[in-house]
Structure 1
Amino acid sequence: MLSLLPIWLPAVVVVGVLYSWFRSWYRLRDFKGPWLAGLSEAWLFGVTTTGELHMRLYEASQKYGDDFVRIGPNWLMTSDPDVIRHMNAAKYKHQKSSWYEALKVDPYVHSVFSETSVTKHDQLRVKMASGYSLKENRDLGVKIDAEIASLVDLLERKYVSTADDVRPLDMAGAAQFWSLDVITSIALGEPFGYLTEDKDMYDFIKIIQGELPLATLCSSTPTLGNLVFGSGLVKLIGPSPKDEKGRGKLMGIAKRVVGDRYGANKVVRDDMLGTFVRNGLDKRQAESEILTTILAGSDTTATAVRATMLYIMTNPRVYNKLVEEIAAAERNGSISSPITSAESRQMPYVQAVIKEGLRIHPPITGLLTKLVNPGGETIKGRFIPGGTGIGQCGWGIQRHPIFGEDVDVFRPERWIEASEAQRSEMEKTMELVFGTGRWGCLGKTIVLVELDKIFVELLRKFDFELMYPGSAWKTRNFTLFMQKEMWVRVTKREVASS
């Protein structure tokens, strides 16, 4: 049979492949990047599999330039804050790319995070925005305080060490348990009980960390993502709320807790989900939004707490200065117990530490790719064809020259020493970790209140030290950070007499 094939057929196939590669390369030929990235998605696929995507993107940004780097046949990446603001500005109506499709927590229904239609996204956002506001969540601070108290109780019950009794604490796990209990309390009216039980309730962390690498691979490589999510395959073999494990198990939990809020005998509560219901979010959409809120609202906050604590513990100067500011505030009575967010924001060094922690280790480092409008646009003096995806290098953005020469150093003092004008620009750039414009993070206010409180409350009661400084934690990056085994020794802080 093979002998019957025309002898010229292999040559035609080779020419076809070469022509396809040429077309892929030619479209964005004016933009530098890894040579393989101009021909296929293989480069981005490869760097994603390393578990160090944030660093590989940052290295490419440094090598090929911060304005635009070609990372795929139809994708560019930038570390320029101005470009990010342009692509996120409401007035330009840039759409989200296929990058978001694979990162739907519920694979059948878009959330406000993954929705690519500008119109549908805006409609969802209107229905959900009040649920994240301090006006609707009047007891937000009380709920956060309650979970901080639960964390303190857990430490005192099981993890306070003495000279004769060392009780290692995995700070990575404790931070995740705390953030999960906070967001479930805010979203659903009561915590799931991670801190009370000191375990991964419903295998939530295990399931998400098991599925996140593949989801990120699908988001980084549109061809693979389309095969899985665009071909209908997910509808045939995807998860079901009836599953006893995996993502389907989480969907089942969401279906159960959301189902109580709808129907003739619905439960009415004054929490985030209650706000969604009052504002007209339908039941199926609410299931998707609650799942996404719990994931996004817990994982990023946990990373911010872990990373900031790591940098504090490995920098004695910062540690001592921070503890002294907290102790001084206690002595002069300028902070309550527990501290309020307003009081925390009057403590310059506490706020500098929070900002520096978010800057030096941004909690989410995904590309968050948006599409250039049809017809193309000239951005920063360069014409970019319509339909081109522009992603962001989160690590590079937070090492912009606006922060000074020592951007790789954890130095909170930069926020205090800067002039008012420079500090304003620094804050605008740092806050890009929450997104901006049309696509800004709805949960930003909640996260900042959590961070205002957690470091003060932990360090006024305990001392923390790394048990294994040479191997502080195990960490991998797949859009979000998967971190574990951050072993610390916790001791009770002695209260100095006044």
Structure 2
Amino acid sequence: MAPSFSITTAIISLILLTLTYTVSRLIYNVFLHPLRRYPGPLLSHASILPMQSQTLRGRFPFWIHSLHERYGPVVRYAPDELSFISSDAVKDIYGHGRSSFEKQKVFYGKDVYGDPTGLFRADAESHARQRKLVSHAFSEKALREQESIFAKYVALLVQKLQIRAAKNEAADMVKWYNFTTFDIMADLTFGEPLGLLDGSEYTPWVASVFAHVKLNALAGAIRRWSWLESVFTRFAPKSLREKRRVHMEHSSERVDRRLEKDLERPDIWSYVVRNQGKGEGDRLEKSEMYSNSALFMLAGTETTATELSGVTYHLLKNPAKMARLTKEIRTAFSSLDDINLVNITQLEYLNACIDEGLRIYPPVAIGLPRSVPEGGAKVGGMWLPGGTAVALSQYAAYHSERNFKDPESFVPERWMPEGKEEYGSDDSHVFVPFSFGPRNCLGRNLAYHEMRFVLASVLLNFDLELADNTVWTDQNVYNLWDKKPLMIKLTPVGK
């Protein structure tokens, strides 16, 4: 009986030790932790479980918004993590000269393509080297050279929508915007089209991108428990793991194919190859190329299509705004041939509508966390200990009355000179939908050009009407919005 008694004793001892450690940790987090004085729910001070629960349910940005409404501009939503919604925190967390605020590793995880990692997870030195090489492909000069690629796919989008309109069939604009942005970015990134607009269907790889994003969001929440992450990764549904594999292989295979071609065309890799080796260390390793190509495809497609879907919906819910925008577009242009990347920037109300869409429905609704460096630093005038995770929560910041008047209303005029009298108190410095500082979104100008070109072309050729009365924006968020179909009736202009 002695061995049995010993095993029983060992198990009981282990349970008691675990309980003792857990209780002591909870007490420390609530009463002794350096962040104990920052406001937030008691359970969130004690444990990461509330944050994980909200993330897994897809409600994290809305939960954070409710916490800021209750507790103010700084919220402790997990034992070691703070959310901010003030503009003074933007420069402190993301600004130039703050390279020591590295990305929070537990949130971003490991690069699936291995080391050295791509831009998204690179340290400050590696990021600067890679960004210098790829930035040529996103310059204004490059964008003007790429205009024919934009124009080709936008014309095809209009042609496909005309076929739907002739059949009196409602179109899911989420799909059509995605078809367009993926076709454009595939041509720019891999030098070959995906054929989504031609086939009018998602390919298996594009479908895998959405699953990959959701899987990463769920894994990020679980990653706080290191032992549980390996279990989750191993026992995740086979379909999700297969989609992740497809996603990885698609990017690497197409990069290899593109590099084997000696093409002089205005795509991303032509600029990168042209500048490889011009200076010491000026080159990208294969793992960096693979990782960056996957990043370009995601950042230049899903987020852009999300914004186009969101601004279209809000315009349709605000007919006077839609009427003003369509009048501006149809006064400026008679046909698609009139639109180019230069003259489209001059449409003031179009630019205002896009910015307001980014505010009320930010494609990245969460905060992008950084870690306070060892030794501590100030954020928003407050000294924080090293290792604290800090972020500007975009949805919460843009929907707060502290920053914007009428935050739940779609008001493009707030971004125009005419709106300064009524909306001059808006804190536009907190509005950073493409992030801020040395690691802001490299494709910001490309995204704006693409959004202007696509939206103007659709509204030049069609009158739009919502096909149902559902609240389309009632969606979950898994780092990006889990969008529902946006069904729209299209009537060709002049009919």
Give me the TM-score of the superposition, normalised by structure 1.
0.87
1:54-94 Cα shifts (integer Å, max 9, x gaps): 2122112212212x211212111111122122111131221
**Is this contact kept in 1: 2:404–2:427, CA < 8 A?**
no
**Is this contact kept in 1: 2:368–2:393, CA < 8 A?**
no
Instruction: Please state whether the residue corresponding to 2:337 is helix, strand or coil.
Output: coil
Stretches of structure 1 that go unaligned for 5 or more consecutive residues are none
Give me the TM-score of the superposition, normalised by structure 2.
0.87
Task: Measure how far apart 1:341 and its partner are.
Answer: 3.0
**Is this contact kept in 1: 2:189–2:267, CA < 8 A?**
yes
Task: Measure how far apart 1:9 and its partner are.
Answer: 6.7
- Residues 6-405 of structure 1: matches in 2 within 5 Å? 11-25=16-30, 26-27=32-33, 28-66=35-73, 68-93=74-99, 94-102=101-109, 104=111, 106=113, 110-115=117-122, 117-157=123-163, 159-161=164-166, 165-201=167-203, 203-224=204-225, 227-228=228-229, 245-262=242-259, 269-278=265-274, 279=276, 280-330=283-333, 337-401=337-401, 404-405=404-405
1:194-239 Cα shifts (integer Å, max 9, x gaps): 11111112x233212223333112223542467537x9x97x8999
Stretches of structure 2 that go unaligned for 5 or more consecutive residues are 277-282
After superposition, the Cα gap between the structure-2 partners of 1:224 and 1:145, relative to the gap in structure 1 and judged at 3 Å, is farther
1:342-384 Cα shifts (integer Å, max 9, x gaps): 3223222212111111111111123311011211123333221
Return the alpha-carbon distance in structure 2 between the equivalents of residues 226 and 153 of structure 1. 52
Letter of the 1:160 counterpart: A
Instruction: Please state whether the residue corresponding to 1:345 is helix, strand or coil.
Output: helix
Instruction: Please state whether the residue corresponding to 2:151 is helix, strand or coil.
Output: helix
Return the alpha-carbon distance in structure 2 between the equivalents of residues 105 and 293 of structure 1. 15
1:125-156 Cα shifts (integer Å, max 9, x gaps): 22221122222344222211111101011112
**Is this contact kept in 2: 1:40–1:72, CA < 8 A?**
yes
**Is this contact kept in 2: 1:273–1:286, CA < 8 A?**
no
**Is this contact kept in 2: 1:137–1:271, CA < 8 A?**
no
After superposition, the Cα gap between the structure-2 partners of 1:477 and 1:108, relative to the gap in structure 1 and judged at 3 Å, is farther
Seq. identity, %? 23
Return the alpha-carbon distance in structure 2 between the equivalents of residues 424 and 405 of structure 1. 8
Instruction: Please state whether the residue corresponding to 1:490 is helix, strand or coil.
Output: strand
After superposition, the Cα gap between the structure-2 partners of 1:337 and 1:261, relative to the gap in structure 1 and judged at 3 Å, is closer
Task: Measure how far apart 1:52 and its partner are.
Answer: 2.6
Task: Measure how far apart 1:249 and its partner are.
Answer: 1.5
Task: Measure how far apart 1:297 and its partner are.
Answer: 1.0
**Is this contact kept in 2: 1:102–1:216, CA < 8 A?**
no
Task: Measure how far apart 1:177 and its partner are.
Answer: 0.8
After superposition, the Cα gap between the structure-2 partners of 1:9 and 1:169, relative to the gap in structure 1 and judged at 3 Å, is closer
* Count of matched residue positions in the alignment of Structure 1 and Structure 2: 478
**Is this contact kept in 1: 2:90–2:430, CA < 8 A?**
no
Instruction: Please state whether the residue corresponding to 1:364 is helix, strand or coil.
Output: coil
**Is this contact kept in 2: 1:262–1:283, CA < 8 A?**
no
Instruction: Please state whether the residue corresponding to 1:390 is helix, strand or coil.
Output: strand
User: Which stretches of structure 1, 4 residues or longer, exceed 6 Å deviation after superposition?
Assistant: 6-9, 236-239, 420-425
Return the alpha-carbon distance in structure 2 between the equivalents of residues 10 and 297 of structure 1. 50
Return the alpha-carbon distance in structure 1 between the equivalents of residues 436 and 381 of structure 2. 22
After superposition, the Cα gap between the structure-2 partners of 1:277 and 1:476, relative to the gap in structure 1 and judged at 3 Å, is farther
